[in-house]
Amino acid sequence: MSGYILAIDQGTTSSRAIVFNGEMKAVARGQKEFTQIFPQSGWVEHDPEEIWESTLWSVRTALTESGLKASDISAIGITNQRETVVVWDRATGKAIHNAIVWQDRRTAKFCEDLKAAGHEPLFTEKTGLLLDPYFSGTKLSWLLGHVEGARERAKKGELCFGTVDAFLLWRLTGGKSFLTDATNASRTLIYNIADNAWDEELLDLLDIPAAMLPEVRDCASDFGVTTADLFGAEIPILGVAGDQQAATIGQACFKPGMLKSTYGTGCFALLNTGADRVPSKNRLLTTIAYRLDGKTTYALEGSIFIAGAAVQWLRDGLKIIKSAGETAELAESADPNQQVYLVPAFTGLGAPWWDAEARGAIYGLTRNSGPAEFARAALESVCYQTLDLLDAMHKDWQADGKETVLRVDGGMVASDWTMQALSDILDAPVDRPQILETTALGAAWLAGSRAGVWPDMAGFSANWALDRQFTPEMDDETRKAKVEGWNKAVRKTLEV
């Protein structure tokens, strides 16, 4: 077998495929954006067929660019946008409704009703999650109740539910694999992370038939083979993990206390807590980091819904920039005497606030505020939100007396200005790796190690290489004033 591994990274705004060689370096890629559908305020959908077609296009493009044939690829690893719900017909493979995206807030009222009925402690105890529209379970329940006949068909076993990984596995294998992995299952609100099983009590509360659920496997496992007609030959699929867990693996955060923070559309920080399921007292999530050889490793997670999406808003909403790359230069030119704060609650506030009804706000505007100040406020909002997450994590993790090691990845970390601002606001070092494609790399490692052509966990960890460490340069007085201003802005936003 060759050392070539193909990673499918199916994200929120685009599908990507990356071919890695035996030295674990990216040698070719394909990427295609797809449509974001907004039927109502706060609703976000994707067309599953467009997800599928963009994935196929990306894989074929990556293979063509690499000059390789499908038979040269030892295995495929899949990583995906988590919590996004797809329901499809078991006989035809066709989705019965658009995918309901993780950002979607249509079930906010349903979540509030469940909380009012006193159910949140039960969900949190079993799943490590909170009752929030972010997670798959309430989206699935909504879909079953709003597509005519869906719930009855699901009870008869005629429909399949999956997060995007399960949908892709079904399509890639010609309907032979109806599977998911433990990390994606752990984000559904219906999976017991202590028992590693779908939970009947939670299924009953959400009125979800067990007959429509996929089998859950380890992150590195036999997930089937692609049909030969798709790429020219069968390729085994040997790794699956949700995008944030895949990034944790790609950053080699295998030891308790290691922390990664990924800056994409949103920002997601995961702290490895080892074999311990650490219950959060600070509104963080307890989740599965990965499951290998039947052994579960847990994590604390903080989720920020809007990170890079704030920059997209500057470009597409306000139209004050033409490309994301302009923001750092603009931010650097901002008036240092103005302190403008953007609280980017465009789709509610995530951890540690978890306010589904909060909406975005800007504070501190003057007559002199312009594009530069808006750009700085957008980038700094990501830094402040990260600080909120890390403060909560340290409170939950402090009993062990362990220091965290912060490794960053995602599109935004290419900006030196943003990473320096992050280090300044956190008052802590920030490590940027040489390989920024850590999400795809994590999925590739799962498949490559399972195929026996890539190194084991220790060998992979030894291969992690630092590009640059950013260290704090801001004085304490300035940092304290800026953080106090942010906290005030968040409080005012939550009061509205």
Distance, in Å, from the CA atom of 297 to the CA atom of 271, rounded to the nearest integer, reads 11
Residue written as token pair 């998911």? 180
Q: Using 50, 70 and 90 to split pLDDT, how confident is the model at 398?
A: low
- 477: pLDDT strictly greater than 90: yes
pLDDT at 404: 59
| Cβ atoms within 10 Å of 13's Cβ, excluding its own | 15
What does the H/E/C string look like for 201-266? HHHHHHCCCHHHCCEEECCECCCCECCHHHHCCCCEEEEEEEHHHHHHHHCCCCCCCEEEEEECCC
Which residues, including other chains, have CB under 8 Å from residue 297's CB and lie 6 or more apart?
A: 254, 272, 274, 275, 288, 289, 290, 291
Distance, in Å, from the CA atom of 406 to the CA atom of 270, rounded to the nearest integer, reads 10
Q: Across all residues in the chain, what is the average pLDDT?
A: 91
| Cβ atoms within 10 Å of 376's Cβ, excluding its own | 25
CA distances (Å), 416 to each of 77, 325, 332, in order? 30, 11, 11
Q: What is the mean pLDDT of residues 476-487?
A: 93
**Hey, what domains does the chain have and what are their CATH numbers?**
5-243 (3.30.420.40), 251-433+465-496 (3.30.420.40)
Distance, in Å, from the CA atom of 301 to the CA atom of 280, rounded to the nearest integer, reads 10
Q: Using 50, 70 and 90 to split pLDDT, how confident is the model at 336?
A: confident
Which residues, including other chains, have CB under 8 Å from residue 129's CB and lie 6 or more apart?
A: 123, 135, 187, 189, 285, 286, 287
Give the tens place of pLDDT for each residue, 215-274: 999 999 999 999 999 999 999 999 999 999 999 999 999 998 888 998 877 888 999 999
Contact 191, 197 (CB under 8 A): yes
Distance, in Å, from the CA atom of 252 to the CA atom of 249, rounded to the nearest integer, reads 5
Residue 255: DSSP 8-state: S
* DSSP element (H, E) containing 468: strand 466-470
Contact 177, 170 (CB under 8 A): yes
Residue 398: DSSP 8-state: G
The answer, yes or no, to whether the previous bond of 344 is cis (omega within 30 of 0) is: no
Q: Using 50, 70 and 90 to split pLDDT, how confident is the model at 424?
A: very high
Closest CA to 182 of 158, 217, 149, 207: 217
pLDDT at 403: 59
Per the rule left: phi > 0, alpha: psi between -120 and 50, beta: everything else, 293 is left
Which residues, including other chains, have CB under 8 Å from residue 330's CB and lie 6 or more apart?
A: 321, 371, 372, 375, 376
Distance, in Å, from the CA atom of 143 to the CA atom of 161, rounded to the nearest integer, reads 11
Percent of the chain with pLDDT over 70: 98
Which amino acid, residue 349? L
Helices assigned H by DSSP within 398-454: 416-426, 438-451
Residue written as token pair 């990390």? 183
Give the tens place of pLDDT for each residue, 38-51: 999 889 999 999 99
Residue written as token pair 């009925």? 117
Give the tens place of pLDDT for each residue, 348-394: 777 777 777 788 888 988 888 888 888 889 899 989 999 988 888 88
* DSSP element (H, E) containing 254: none
Q: What is the mean pLDDT of residues 303-307?
A: 79
CA distances (Å), 96 to each of 72, 90, 155, in order? 36, 10, 15
pLDDT at 408: 92
Virtual torsion, Cα 178, 183, 184, 189, nearest 10 deg: 120
Residue 65 phi/psi, 5-degree rounding, is -65, -35
Closest CA to 18 of 51, 54, 61, 49: 61
Instruction: Quote the pTM value.
Output: 0.87
- Collapsing DSSP to helix, strand or coil, 425 comes out as helix
> Between 78 and 405, whose confidence is greater?
78
Q: Vertex 345, ends 340 and 350: CA angle to 5°?
A: 120
- 399: pLDDT strictly greater than 60: no
Q: Using 50, 70 and 90 to split pLDDT, how confident is the model at 405?
A: low
- What are 320's two structure tokens? 């004050």
Contact 137, 110 (CB under 8 A): no
